[in-house]
Amino acid sequence: MERHKIIKHLGSTGFVYLAHDTQLERDVAIKRLSSEANTKQTELKQQLLTEAKLLAGLKHPSIVSIYDVIETATGGDIIMEFVEGDTLENVVNKRPLELKSFLYVAAQLLSAIATAHEHGILHCDLKPSNIMLLELNRSRYKTTVLDFGMPLSQDQTSDSKSSTQQIVGSIHFIAPEVIESNTTTEASDIYSIGCLLYYALTGKFPFAGESPVVIMAAHMRNDFIPIQQLVPALPSSLCQWLEAHLHYKQDDRVGSCRESLDALMLLEGIEGLEAISEICNDNNFEELIQDSLSSSKKSNITLSAKQQEEFEKSKKPSPSATPQDMVPMSDRINQVRPQDMW
């Protein structure tokens, strides 16, 4: 019997599937690699498989979990966590995030990318469709980052297309240095985060235009409308903090995602920051998320006192259980975006 039973396609591409793991009885997402046999495809397939293996050792409550990588003679599958909810893109298309929701999403996003950067992994394709939001309660969203260095756009699968066409999928969120020299660094991800946060609060792209070329030119000129002009009610300190991610020069941007998260938590006069302080500690944050998920899915089952006691005991880890060691990835500095893969 086949372990992973395909249920349906996910998203707009034909490369990602919802499947059911018949052994562990859980739903998973499967990314199926191209089976083309030319040299470039083979090299890129190996690049993507290596990236997936590295990510499998990266543990964070806001980074999608990779369960397995299966290599075959004709291609390969990446078996990963199936993330419920909706994309940031779809949520913001209905209406921009309110301030409390924004703070919760921003802190989780920064914490996730900070952890990846601290282990030598860049994302390289941050955009609203790669951020999943699951509504919990009290305007809270569980935020999950997808697709580290794994762009899925079919627009990126042809060798004959120009570099302009190859970056159309992320054109509103791509850093000037990537446009100019295809150079990706931590600062490039930070710039993309700034674009994402601007979009989440306003529903508008900071750099817009009628064509990809015009949009790229706006990035190069650093031509965007100050966010407080679009949302006057926002605190000035928050606007200044956000726009620090959007500077043209890499050295002028906020130094790191961890530094950005710390600065966010120190902003004064912003209601709701205290409620997300747990996110600065990844261990506390994971417990917070689980508590929120539990409270958002309460049932009407009533336990007896004895049953409640047994249930509480069952939640405690055994003395022999220890956290899995993080796979060291500090040597992985130079990143190559594995295009033409899907």
- Do residues 87 and 10 make contact, with C-beta atoms less than 8 angstroms apart? no
**16, β-bridge pairs:** 31
- Copy the structure tokens of residue 296: 């958002």
- Do residues 122 and 189 make contact, with C-beta atoms less than 8 angstroms apart? yes
**Which of 180, 135, 130 has the alpha carbon at shortest distance from 151?**
130
Strand order in the sheet with 131-135: 86-87, 131-135, 141-145
Cα–Cα distance for residue pair 337/104, rounded to 1 Å: 29
Cα–Cα distance for residue pair 191/243, rounded to 1 Å: 9
- Do residues 33 and 340 make contact, with C-beta atoms less than 8 angstroms apart? no
User: Hey, which residues are catalytic here?
Assistant: 125
Helices 257-266 and 186-202, interaxial angle, to 10°? Answer: 40
Instruction: Characterize 141-161 residue by residue with b for buried, 16 or more Cβ atoms within 10 angstroms of its Cβ, and e for exposed.
Output: bbbbbbbbbbbbbeebbeeee
Cα–Cα distance for residue pair 114/258, rounded to 1 Å: 5
